[in-house]
Amino acid sequence: DAKTTQPNSMESNEEEPVHLPCNHSTISGTDYIHWYRQLPSQGPEYVIHGLTSNVNNRMASLAIAEDRKSSTLILHRATLRDAAVYYCILSSGNTPLVFGKGTRLSVIA
Amino acid sequence: NAGVTQTPKFQVLKTGQSMTLQCAQDMNHNSMYWYRQDPGMGLRLIYYSASEGTTDKGEVPNGYNVSRLNKREFSLRLESAAPSQTSVYFCASSERFRQGRTEAFFGQGTRLTVV
């Protein structure tokens, strides 16, 4: 399985943008980049995914480097409800999602 | 919409006891999964079912069995519980086994303690 590297933890002030990085230098051409987050005492929830182009949805934006060896999840305006563990996952068509330890995001009021 | 429903939410077992964790989804998804999450760790895949009638081992299958009862339901059985199986168990489903492009939905988890 292709591996990802994320910082263990990050901190942000409320109402400021947050950029969560992910390195995936061994990504293959068929790997999609997925982001999930896990709020305290809940199951993971889907945030966003992409292949090559940057993606936007109501929750976040995903910026993918041109060489696809890294990506950044952008929360445009962090709220206290965004405090969670964020997982960056690579997935091709033939394997289930494999979770790492993710980045624990703390949001300060 | 209920999404993915897991029962029970909490369970305490004695070492050696058996139990079945139930999971049902109402989204007509083809693929279903069981993960476990130990404190401070990410999720690890136990078993998955790419489609009705098929099951496959994941990363940590030892000590568990699964049954894909029908398209909606995927159960996880512990035949002889051990303290090392104390964990939070998550069931998930996705539309089809093309995880590269499809979103997975997770249940709220079952917190299992084996004493």
Residue A105 pLDDT? 98
Residues A24 and A10: beta-carbon distance below 8 Å = no
d(CA A6, CA A4): 7
Residues B14 and B114: beta-carbon distance below 8 Å = yes
d(CA A71, CA A33): 8
Q: ∠B97-A94-B88 over CA atoms, to 5°?
A: 70
Mean per-residue pLDDT pooled into runs of 10, chain B (115 residues): 91 97 95 93 92 93 96 97 97 79 90 97
Q: pLDDT of chain A along its 109 residues, tens only?
A: 558 999 999 999 999 999 999 999 999 888 899 999 999 999 999 999 999 999 999 989 999 999 999 999 999 999 999 999 999 999 886 678 889 899 999 999 9
Q: Across-strand partners of A91?
A: A32
Residue A93 pLDDT? 67
Interface test with B, best of A94, A97, A103 (most B CBs within 10 A): A97
Q: Across-strand partners of A22?
A: A71
Nearest CA in chain B to A28: B100
Residue B100 pLDDT? 66
B72 token code pair? 């909606």
Chain-chain contact of B42 with A102 (C-beta, under 8 angstroms) = yes
Please name the member of B58, B90, B100 whose beta carbon is closest to the beta carbon of A92: B100
